[in-house]
């Protein structure tokens, strides 16, 4: 069987300028060190989890340089919160995948519900962005999840699966094996309430079953599927111990470096 490395990603949204980001990193490093001491420096344990943050574009460089200098363990990987589907040219205000890859970004978040809602980010663009991110050697983290209305109508997981189908239209099975899926019920984002761990487990199982049916068992065994929506140090342990939960996408709680380090070590 394939071992999937647990993954915790912090999504800072539109918070923390580059000066605040440096302060965050200092506090995160201190908190991380405390955890390592508690684990008696067991690097096996410490390196078990993969950790990443998604700062604003303007904070990426500061965090990258400082994270390198700090030599954190586990290494702190970086990603962006969005990208253009286009390569380069007269597209004022946009940021290309090549620019992000050049900065050393490992991930790009796509289809976050706030982008879908406020911009709007439509399904057609998301599938093109998936392609562009993979072609640039980075890993897309694609967010799917039903709204409150969808949940009340009882279409919850089908709504999310439809989003996944359209996000993956341009991908081969090999590509899909490299993708990270974040299941985020929209009604739980920033709301301080998450579904019951058993409900999360069954939603993630439905997603993996769908990938299995569409792309085969090898691909389904490789894809990492995260849960996101009001994850905090109080509920993380109960969720991560559920079968098939490969980690978390953490919004609000990731702004607090101590809470974030805590969640990473629970994972």
Residues marked active site are found at 112, 184
Residue 126 in tokens = 């998301």
> How many Cβ atoms are within 10 Å of 15's Cβ, its own excluded?
16
H/E segment holding residue 100 = helix 97-102
Measured at the CA of 104, the angle between CA 65 and CA 222, to 5 degrees, comes to: 130
Residue 156 in tokens = 């919850």
Answer yes or no whether residue 229 interacts with ligand PEP by CB under 6 A: yes
In this chain, which of 6, 8, 10, 11 binds ligand PEP, going by CB under 6 A? 11
Q: How far is the CB of 97 from ligand PEP (least distance, A)?
A: 21
Alpha-carbon separation of residue 233 from 240, 256, 258 (angstroms) = 11, 11, 10
Q: How far is the CB of 6 from ligand PEP (least distance, A)?
A: 17
Q: Is residue 251 part of an annotated ligand binding site?
A: yes
Residue with tokens 């996101």: 228
In this chain, which of 79, 195, 228, 257 binds ligand PEP, going by CB under 6 A? 228
Q: How far is the CB of 112 from ligand PEP (least distance, A)?
A: 6
- The CA distance from 94 to 82, in Å, is 10
In this chain, which of 231, 236, 245, 261 binds ligand PEP, going by CB under 6 A? 231
Q: Which stretch binds ligand PEP (CB under 6 A): 68-76, 122-130, 165-173, 251-259?
A: 251-259
User: Which residues form the interface with ligand PEP (CB under 6 A)?
Assistant: 11, 184, 189-190, 228-231, 249-253
């Amino acid at each position: 069987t394939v071992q999937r490395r647990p993954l915790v990603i912090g999504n800072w949204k539109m918070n923390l300028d580059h000066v605040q980001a440096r302060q965050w990193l200092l506090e995160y490093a201190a908190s991380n060190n405390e955890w390592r001491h508690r684990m008696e420096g067991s690097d096996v344990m410490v390196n078990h989890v993969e950790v990443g943050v998604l700062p604003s574009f303007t904070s990426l460089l500061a965090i990258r340089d400082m994270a390198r200098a700090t030599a954190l363990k586990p290494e702190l990987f970086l990603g962006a919160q969005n990208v253009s589907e286009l390569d380069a040219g007269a597209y004022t205000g946009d940021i290309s995948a090549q620019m992000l890859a050049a900065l050393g970004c490992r991930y790009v978040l796509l289809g976050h519900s706030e982008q879908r809602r406020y911009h709007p980010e439509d399904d057609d663009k998301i599938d093109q962005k998936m392609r562009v991110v993979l072609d640039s050697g980075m890993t897309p983290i694609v967010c799917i999840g039903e709204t409150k209305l969808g949940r009340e109508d009882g279409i919850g997981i089908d709504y999310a699966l439809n989003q996944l189908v359209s996000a993956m239209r341009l991908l081969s099975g090999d590509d899909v094996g490299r993708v990270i899926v974040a299941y985020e019920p929209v009604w739980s984002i920033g709301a301080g309430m998450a579904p019951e761990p058993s409900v999360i487990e069954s939603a993630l199982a439905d997603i993996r079953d769908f990938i299995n049916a569409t792309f085969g068992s090898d691909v389904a065994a490789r894809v990492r599927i995260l849960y996101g929506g009001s994850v905090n140090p109080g509920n993380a342990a109960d969720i991560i111990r559920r079968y098939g939960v490969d980690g978390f996408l953490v919004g609000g709680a990731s702004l607090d470096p101590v809470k974030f380090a805590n969640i990473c070590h629970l994972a």
